[in-house]
């Protein structure tokens, strides 16, 4: 399990008795948080009292591969020039927890000693100033640490910190390149690695085709039995389904060998494959492996990172594409889907495996999962390259059950309403340059994306119930 360091600031001049109390209070706090969070260990660090101790703990956090972030708290005053040298080398996300060991003021007994010991109102302001002055990107959470809402915000920070740690070692495989002539899916791969850690590389589809040929009978039988129990087999063309099972087995072997956490493909480069990967990609996405079609490496990597962020939370997270609308006045709905690749995490009911011809690509009819999407509150997140920076666009949406059956549509689909209304939300998305590819999540909300954007210093445009036109971008 990954760790957050719990670092408590103080100074030498208080004397042994006070410092022992500081250590004890912060230890209780770290243990409580560790116990309540569950997803990460909150590891108490000895109180730092001077520039050398601060530098040492920051260096230790920076070098510790298990440490994904730090929680800093000033129990007492801690003159902040002491922090400059340490903060300059700290490269882990920081949560500045502005809290106290005591919830209430002991009005009847408070004396000068008590006030001197419990002075985060004083010490955290000094620490906040130096972080602001140095441009340290951090989350600030203010309130009593045992309150449920404060714990929830600390939990969100932990989730984002774990996702950022994952992001920094994420390797993305592009089978083929970006779909010819498409603008929004392209991007600066070098800058993506500098800013987010995404190591994005091209692989020939032939490397995958070789692995497909080498799939054994028993591997194939195991995968087909998995499909049969998870999904309803709504086709007699079992050969076509087996073809996708081989793709999935080959892809997973490739990912393990190359340590890949996200991938792209393109229907324009399928040499050696008989079908466009459909069912295979859908089933892989359900495991939290990132996917972007048509060479869209940004959406693929973002999906993997957001799946990691969603972690053990309830809900569904995956790639989707904006496709078509129902523009009935006042009840405007979007229908999102893709040629094939919609993750079954969004399914309202047991998905059906079907085989249908594909209009483009000139390959054999591919097997795919077909289903209607779930309802519920969600966000749609898109990342675009503006030339001198990346931009995230995050829209609040409401997933809605499909109002009528669509028996002739041979792909999975998801429907939603954008907030605050179609005229405003859709125009705002277009104004901001939001892509037709996005990661949709019912597990995450705007505050998660806001924190990710803040800690990675990425521009963020939010479209929510408060958005109004004209919308500047
Ligand atoms: Mn697309």
Measured in Å, residue 343 CA sits from the centre of ligand 1 at 14
Return d(Cα 3, Cα 26) in angstroms, integer. Answer: 16
Buried residues in 287-325 as b, exposed as e (16+ CB within 10 A): ebbbbbbbbbbbbbbbbbbbbbbbbebeebbbbbbbeee
Torsion of CA 186, 427, 375, 245, to 10 degrees: -20
Given pLDDT bands bounded at 50, 70 and 90, which one contains residue 389?
A: very high
Distance (Å) from CA 355 to ligand 1 centroid: 20
Confidence band (pLDDT; 50, 70, 90) for 360? confident
CA–CA dist 30, 27 (Å, integer): 5
Could you give the C-alpha distances from 20 to 6, 15, 59, 346, in angstroms and in order? Answer: 16, 9, 24, 52
Give the start-end residues of each E strand in 333-457: 333-337, 352-355, 367-370, 376-385, 390-400, 414-418, 437-441
Q: Which of 34-43, 147-156, 255-264, 355-364 is predicted least confidently?
A: 355-364
Centre of ligand 1 from the C-alpha of residue 348, in Å: 23
Q: Measure 120 CA to ligand 1 centroid, in angstroms.
A: 51
- Determine the distance separating the centroid of ligand 1 and the alpha carbon of 150, expressed in angstroms: 39
Residue 320 CA to ligand 1 centre (angstroms):
8
**What is the whole-number distance in angstroms between the Cα of residue 201 and the centre of ligand 1?**
20
CA of 437 to the centre of ligand 1 (A): 6
Q: Which H or E run contains 71?
A: strand 67-74
Q: Quick one: which H or E segment has residue 73? A: strand 67-74
Residue 401 CA to ligand 1 centre (angstroms): 23
Q: Report pLDDT digits (tens) over 85-117.
A: 999 999 999 999 999 999 999 999 999 999 999
Q: φ, ψ for residue 158 (rounded to 5)? A: -60, -45
CA of 287 to the centre of ligand 1 (A): 21
- How confident is the model at residue 193, as a pLDDT? 98
Q: What is the pLDDT of residues 3-36, one digit of tens each?
A: 999 999 999 988 899 999 999 999 999 999 999 9
* Separation of CA 351 and ligand 1 centre (Å): 21
Q: 170 C-alpha vs ligand 1 centroid, how far in Å?
A: 22
Q: How far is the CA of 360 from the centre of ligand 1 (A)?
A: 13
For ligand 1, the distance from its centroid to the CA atom of residue 182, given in whole angstroms, is 10
- CA within 13 Å, CB half, 287: 11
171-175 and 199-203 strand pairing = parallel
Rounded Cα distance, 255 and 253, in Å:
5
Give the Å distance between the CA of 232 and the centre of ligand 1: 26
Residue 171 has pLDDT above 90, yes or no: yes
What separation in Å is there between the alpha carbon of 167 and the centre of ligand 1? Answer: 23
Report the alpha-carbon distance of residue 349 to residue 338 in Å, rounded. 18
How far does the centroid of ligand 1 lie from the alpha carbon of residue 282, in Å?
14
Checking if the pLDDT of 470 tops 80, the result is no
Count CA atoms within 13 Å of residue 121 on its CB side. 6
Cα 411 to ligand 1 centre (Å): 14
Quote the pLDDT of residue 96: 98
**Of 442, 237, 198, 239, residue with least CA distance to 343:** 442
Q: How far apart are CA 388 and CA 396, in angstroms?
A: 26
From the CA of 194, how far away is ligand 1's center (Å)? 26
**Å from CA of 244 to ligand 1 middle:** 20
Structure tokens at 314: 């309830």
Interval 256-276 mean pLDDT: 95
Is the pLDDT at 472 greater than 70? The verdict is no
CA 458–ligand 1 middle distance (angstroms): 24
The order of strands in the sheet holding 232-233 is: 232-233, 352-355, 367-370
What is the whole-number distance in angstroms between the Cα of residue 455 and the centre of ligand 1? 29
Question: Is the sign of the CA dihedral 242, 247, 248, 249 positive or negative?
Answer: positive
Percentage of residues in the chain having pLDDT higher than 70: 99
Q: How many CA atoms lie within 13 A of 138 on its CB side?
A: 27
pLDDT at 37: 96
Cα separation, 346 vs 374, whole angstroms: 6
Strands (E), 176-264: 199-203, 232-233, 262-264
Q: Determine the distance separating the centroid of ligand 1 and the alpha carbon of 438, expressed in angstroms.
A: 10
What does pLDDT average to over the chain?
A: 97
What distance in angstroms lies between residue 238's CA and the mean position of ligand 1's atoms? 27
Query: What spacing in Å lies between the alpha carbon of 187 and ligand 1's midpoint?
Result: 15
pLDDT of 471 strictly over 80: no
> Ligand 1 mean position to 310 CA, how many Å?
24
Residue 429 CA to ligand 1 centre (angstroms): 17
Interval between CA 381 and ligand 1 midpoint (Å): 15
Cβ neighbours, 10 Å, residue 5: 24
């Amino acid at each position: 399990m990954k760790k957050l360091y719990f670092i408590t600031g103080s100074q030498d001049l208080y004397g042994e008795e006070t410092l022992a109390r500081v250590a004890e209070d912060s230890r209780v706090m770290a243990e409580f948080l560790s116990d309540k969070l569950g997803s990460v260990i909150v590891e108490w660090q000895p109180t730092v009292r001077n520039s050398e101790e601060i530098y040492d703990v920051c260096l230790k956090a920076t070098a510790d591969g298990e440490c994904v972030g730090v929680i800093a708290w000033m129990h007492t005053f801690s003159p902040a020039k002491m922090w400059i040298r340490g903060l300059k080398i700290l490269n882990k996300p920081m949560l500045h927890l502005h809290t106290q060991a005591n919830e209430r003021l002991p009005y009847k007994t408070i004396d000068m000693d008590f006030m001197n010991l419990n002075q985060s109102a004083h010490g955290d302001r000094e620490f906040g100033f130096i972080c602001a002055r140095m441009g340290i990107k951090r989350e600030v959470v203010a309130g009593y640490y045992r309150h449920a809402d404060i714990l929830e915000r600390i939990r969100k920070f932990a989730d984002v910190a774990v996702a950022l740690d994952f992001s920094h070692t994420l390797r993305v495989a592009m089978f083929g390149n970006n779909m010819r002539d498409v603008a929004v899916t392209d991007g600066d791969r070098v800058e993506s690695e500098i800013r987010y850690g995404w190591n994005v590389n091209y692989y020939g589809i032939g490397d995958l085709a070789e692995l497909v040929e080498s799939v054994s009978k028993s591997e194939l039988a195991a995968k087909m039995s998995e499909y049969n129990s998870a999904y309803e087999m709504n086709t007699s063309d079992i050969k076509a389904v087996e073809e996708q099972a081989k793709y999935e087995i080959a892809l997973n072997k490739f990912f393990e060998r190359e340590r890949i956490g996200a991938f792209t493909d393109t229907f324009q480069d399928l040499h050696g494959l008989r079908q466009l990967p459909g069912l295979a990609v859908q089933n892989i996405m359900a495991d939290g492996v990132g996917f972007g079609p048509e060479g869209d490496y940004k959406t693929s990597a973002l999906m993997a990172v957001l799946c990691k962020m969603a972690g053990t939370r309830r809900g569904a997270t995956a790639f989707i594409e904006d496709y078509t609308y129902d523009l009935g006045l006042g009840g405007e709905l979007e229908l999102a889907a893709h040629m094939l690749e919609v993750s079954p995490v969004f399914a309202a009911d047991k998905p059906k495996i079907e085989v249908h011809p594909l209009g483009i690509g000139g390959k054999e009819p591919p097997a795919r999962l077909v289903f209607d999407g779930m309802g519920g509150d969600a966000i749609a997140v898109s990342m675009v390259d503006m030339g001198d920076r990346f931009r995230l666009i995050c829209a609040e949406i409401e997933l809605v059950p499909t109002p009528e059956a669509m028996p002739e549509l041979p792909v999975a689909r998801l429907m939603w309403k954008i907030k605050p209304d179609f005229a405003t939300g859709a125009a705002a998305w277009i104004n901001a340059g939001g892509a037709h590819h996005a990661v949709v999540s019912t597990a995450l909300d705007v505050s998660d994306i806001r924190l990710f954007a803040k800690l990675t210093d990425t521009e963020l445009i939010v479209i929510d119930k408060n958005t109004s036109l004209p919308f500047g971008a």
